[in-house]
Amino acid sequence: MNIAVVDDIPEETLRFREVVKEYSELNRTEAEISCFGSAEEFLADYAPLKYTLIIMDIYMGGMTGLEAVQKIREQDKDALIVFLSSSSDHYPEAFRLHVYDFLQKPTEKKRIFELLDDIMTQETETGENLEFICEKETVRLPYSRVAALCASGHYSDITDDKAEVWNSHNSYSSLYGLLSADRRFLEINRGITVNMDMITEFSDGICCLRNGTKFSMNVKRRKSLEQTWQNYILTVMRNETVRRK
């Protein structure tokens, strides 16, 4: 998870960093936390899909959190954003901006852990790992971190969410057999399967992923592949809406 914490009180951002670090250690997951002292500082760094979760304080000097989120929504309507505030006065405005949650200060560690559990549930289901052999070692990579699987001769290459490539001694067909049972994965060309959660666009016969990697797609199946991806995204959004009601 890549998490951004935006708050003009250093003690608050430090506390969030410590709690998230404790959570990641307890759950044996990776979490990168970037802290920003103002909305302006965050927006100068922000790019769509860069962060898994954005924790945004509402009351800050300069631009408010509400104003910042309005600007984020202009670029990414699906970004996971949680407001942080000592007051509940802005509940109506917050939820009109389709935020994921609202944390009231001071926030208990238990409440933060519950939030992170919810986010992790969206990212991957417990026990879902792609197991393969790389350099004579067994690697277990969570499905949520698998960006692409590509055939490489008799073997295969796995690209993760950080764009690192793992040269696997397993065949493409054996690993594809595992991934194809998960609705996130779509074979876009012969010997190339990608994680639809990571697709940003299809352009000129190329499938672009949010980690910066690009893969060639079957041009003849372009409309079908793009429609499959769009339907998947709509289904995910619809399920999330139902879950939160």
Buried b (16+ CB within 10 A) or exposed e, 158-193: bbbbeeeebebebebeebbebbeeeebbbbbbeebb
The pTM score is 0.52
Q: Residue ranges of the domains in the chain?
A: 2-123, 129-244
Give the model confidence (pLDDT) of 87-126 as tens digits: 777 777 777 888 888 888 888 899 999 888 887 766 544 3
129-244 in CATH: which number? 2.40.50.1020
Which CATH superfamily, name and number, covers 2-123?
Answer: Response regulator (3.40.50.2300)
Q: In what helix (H) or strand (E) does residue 11 lie, and over which residues does it extend?
A: helix 10-26
The band of 224, judged by pLDDT with boundaries at 50, 70 and 90, is very high
Q: What angle do CA 175, 177, 180 make, to 5 degrees?
A: 105
* Per-residue pLDDT, 124: 46
Give the model confidence (pLDDT) of 23-72 as tens digits: 888 877 778 899 999 999 999 988 877 888 999 999 898 999 999 999 99
Give the model confidence (pLDDT) of 117-156 as tens digits: 887 766 544 347 899 999 888 888 889 899 999 999 999 9
